[in-house]
Amino acid sequence: MDLERSPLARPFPDMPPIDGVTLRIARARYKAWDRCDLTYVELSPDTAVAGVFTRSACASSEVELGREQARLGRARALIVNAGNSNAFTGYRGREAVEQIMAQVASALDCDPSEVFVSSTGVIGVPLPKDKAQAGIEAALVAAPCGWEDAASAIGTTDTFTKGASASAMLAETRVELAGFIKGSGMIAPDMATMLGYVFTDAAVDPAFLQEMLSKANEATFSCITVDGDTSTSDTVLLFATGKAGNRALSSWDDDGADAFYAALLGICRELAHLVVRDGEGAQKFIEIAVTGAADAASARHVGLAIANSPLVKTAIAGGDANWGRVVMAVGKAGEPADRDRLSIGFGGTWAAKDGQPLADYDEAPVARHLEGQDIRIDVDLGVGDGRATVWTCDLTHGYISINADYRS
């Protein structure tokens, strides 16, 4: 399937190497395409790992095993397969993952539990063991590659590669963070999102690494939606090699912990935004800021109700400042709201205040705002101090076209 590059695409950034991280790619040929579709990441011994995963009741074997592995806190390798999600494949799917883990563990002389596997693509087809084995054999001897090649190999309906990096000072030590992600459709995560991987040379205790990733996830990946559908394979993993030589972070009281978290949060937010910008068929990036809610969780729930509404998303696609559809979405969210205190605006212009249209409302600046690619919707519920921001994209015919042809 040949897909046009999203008009909301961003160029892949220059990203620093991470000490203790080696990237390689190979062709496993999981689908009939002439491209690399397997990314292999080798990690230095004693690398710490944290993860967040989908809450789907139909999660893949990769996710089920990954949850168990992440609790152990150590990693030596990551394998990501593209073109086949290996989800809903029963014991055959699990055997394929365990074969991959054993094969890589043998090559690295490590425990299989330190080898993490992710797969993405069509649901319901077992991952071919022969292709996986051949792909890994090729990857193990392949020349190291750069971040963009690694990111490109894990894509499916993605129209551009997605990466982000940052740095932080931990006392006198500078540490680097870099990450890449894939995702375009089936995006409405609950705890995690798509397939995303962040790497750092900082030394961080695994338990604290998990705490920081979970916190960052709640404010970023769990605040985006493309279509309201949660994947069976959603995974975000954070690896810390410790090669920077800093005194290991183990609590928020440690010098540099706040700086490291700020850098991690920034990367997670940027990666989350890039997924929305590559939403299947997307033409507009939409930020929805909800204030005046009962609490932050309520604000997020209202924001996602607006973001997931096909009526709101198609109105934005058509440049229609139909704030009545936002009213509808707020009302159906099931959260505390006061009709007579509700206020709605677009692009900094309020259309309705305190439950009614503004008498002097001028739609012209709103119409101009909706002609652009970056759209903002403001909603104040008027019942408390809770606030949250979520991100989505518009809904166009392109979404239908991509998904109608997905399995071909």
Annotated binding site for substrate: which residue ranges? 156, 182, 193, 280, 403, 408
CA distances, 86 to each of 5, 112, 171, 228, 301 (Å): 27, 19, 44, 22, 31
Give me the residues paired with residue 39 across strands. Answer: 25, 80
| Look-up of token digits 């190291």 | 144
Which distant-in-sequence residues (6+ apart) come within 8 Å of 368 by Cβ? Answer: none
CB 200 within 8 A of CB 16: no
- Helix, strand, coil % (nearest 5) of the chain? 35, 25, 40
Query: Does 193 participate in catalysis according to the annotation?
Result: yes
Give, as one character, the DSSP assignment of residue 23. E
| Look-up of token digits 């997905």 | 406
For the chain, the distance separating the N- and C-terminal CA atoms, rounded to the nearest angstrom, is 7
| Active-site annotation holder among 159, 193, 200, 232 | 193
Which three-class secondary structure state does DSSP give residue 188? coil
Q: Which stretches within 115-156 are classed as H helix?
A: 129-141, 147-153
Residue 259: name the closest of 204, 329, 179 by CA.
Answer: 204
Which distant-in-sequence residues (6+ apart) come within 8 Å of 55 by Cβ? Answer: 190, 191, 230
Which three-class secondary structure state does DSSP give residue 172? coil
Give me the residues paired with residue 289 across strands. Answer: 378, 389
Element spanning 348, H or E: none
Q: Which residues are catalytic?
A: 193
